[in-house]
Amino acid sequence: MRCKGVVTADKGTGAFLRFFAILVTADTFAARSLATPVAAILGLCIDLGAAHEPRRQRLLDRYGAFSVDCREVFAKRGLGMMKKIGSYPELADPQLQPRYSGIPTFFRLPHSVRLDEVDIGLVGVPFDGGVTNRPGARHGPRDIRNQSSLIRKINQATGVAPFDLVRVADLGDAWIERPFELQGALAEITAFFATVHAAGVTPLSVGGDHSISLPILRAIARDRPLGMVHVDAHCDTGDDYLGSRFHHGASFRRAVEEGLVDPKRVVQIGIRGSLNAADMWQFSYESGMRVVSIEEFHDKGWRWAAVEARKVIGGGSTYLSFDVDSLDPVYAPGTGTPEPGGLTTLEAQRLIRDLGGLDFVGADLVEVSPPFDTGGITSMTAATILFELLCVLAQARAQKPMSRG
């Protein structure tokens, strides 16, 4: 069944594959013409070929997922033997398939590179080159994809059904070709998200460490500064560290300096922990950000925090950045910089739900570090928060469909 033997890539094959990858990326006529024979030869599309017709057709209709029909080729070669679903047509919906089955994408969504037929794109950013202490967040997207198979279709608390409201797909990873060159890596991330943004797709990104927010903002906020709801134990408005202006503790200072976020429209929620200098987060206060310490949050509650966030944000375009270390380590131990005494998962969920209706143009969830996790609890919690982020993004997107250029 598997077309072994062909991928004994010599230099010529490798060069051809690179050329083909460029064609696919460019989505050219040539790529479409070449797609079927190439995919069949390399046996890359066993899964797509295996997909039963109703589901495949529905996904193609709804998401325009890039695929090549190598089943015809397999059939001609006597290889068309994959099982089809006959008795349970409702299983054409990926969210209704058994949650232990399938290849792990975010929320079991179709993997698509057809940006023109996607409203919200989930993107993994497996990069932790900006971590100042404990690494491992590069493994976040893979673990969260796996745990996100637990999530169902409808937000029971708000009634939001994001997959019915808008077209959602997993766009794969913004993986980085040169991860050891920090500024070059950030530029690669920006280039990826610039393509996503230019196609009119709202990005929901999964890190990776918090340094990834800056290059994402460079891509989606280049024409106007955004407001930002930032949930985190740390302000991430530090300065140079060990000779680098770019790391996961300085992202939002750089974002303000580069005119990507309007500090007067930024609220930072959950701030706590010990400091090495009393003025470590001075930039937040001096630039006019609204800093909500965990003590203030605890005293006044999530409902008040949502009202306060709305007051600070006002009405314009807004980004939502969620650092999983905002949660107490009892809920999210698998992170590089845990700070005990944090938000509960439920507080974070209710806070995010109460922000529904704001004009969110993108969001990220960062700093899940599976090597420090225990039994997948942090990735599971992160997947749950990611669903809440998706719901408010879907609400925003459904309210104001973006025009496509």
Q: Which residues form the interface with Mn ion (CB under 5 A)? A: 210, 232-234, 236, 323, 325
> Tokens representing 299?
């005293």
The answer to whether 394 touches 166, Cβ cutoff 8 Å, is yes
Give the whole-angstrom CA distance, residue 342 versus residue 338: 9
**β-strand 202-207 against 290-293: which pairing, if any?**
unpaired
Q: What is the SS3 assignment for 120?
A: strand
- CB closer to Mn ion out of 162 and 342: 342
Nearest Cα residue to 27 out of 68, 73, 56: 68
- CB closer to Mn ion out of 236 and 262: 236
CB of 273 to Mn ion, least distance (A): 9
The answer to whether 116 touches 199, Cβ cutoff 8 Å, is yes
- CB closer to Mn ion out of 119 and 232: 232
Using the structure block, give the residue that is written with the tokens 């589901």.
55
Give the type of residue at 56.
R
Give the whole-angstrom CA distance, residue 168 versus residue 185: 26
CB of 349 to Mn ion, least distance (A): 18
CB of 246 to Mn ion, least distance (A): 14
- CB closer to Mn ion out of 71 and 234: 234
- Helical segments of 119-202, H only: 140-147, 162-165, 182-198
149 phi and psi, to 5 degrees? -65, -15
CB of 191 to Mn ion, least distance (A): 23
- CB closer to Mn ion out of 108 and 210: 210
- CB closer to Mn ion out of 320 and 394: 320
Give the whole-angstrom CA distance, residue 180 versus residue 95: 37
The answer to whether 141 touches 125, Cβ cutoff 8 Å, is yes
CB of 271 to Mn ion, least distance (A): 9
* DSSP, res 168: E
- Helix, strand and coil percent figures for the chain, each rounded to 5: 45, 15, 40
CB of 382 to Mn ion, least distance (A): 13
Give the whole-angstrom CA distance, residue 247 versus residue 259: 18
Residue 319 CB partners (closer than 8 Å, separation 6+): 213, 217, 220, 221, 226, 227, 228, 229, 261, 360, 361, 362, 363
- CB closer to Mn ion out of 55 and 234: 234
Give the whole-angstrom CA distance, residue 338 versus residue 318: 26
CB of 24 to Mn ion, least distance (A): 34
- CB closer to Mn ion out of 69 and 323: 323
| Sign, Cα dihedral of 107, 301, 285, 263 | positive
- CB closer to Mn ion out of 14 and 340: 340
CB of 181 to Mn ion, least distance (A): 22
CB of 329 to Mn ion, least distance (A): 12
CB of 150 to Mn ion, least distance (A): 25
- CB closer to Mn ion out of 323 and 354: 323
CB of 230 to Mn ion, least distance (A): 8
> Tokens representing 272?
């706590």
The answer to whether 167 touches 112, Cβ cutoff 8 Å, is no
How many Cβ atoms are within 10 Å of 104's Cβ, its own excluded? 15
- CB closer to Mn ion out of 149 and 251: 251
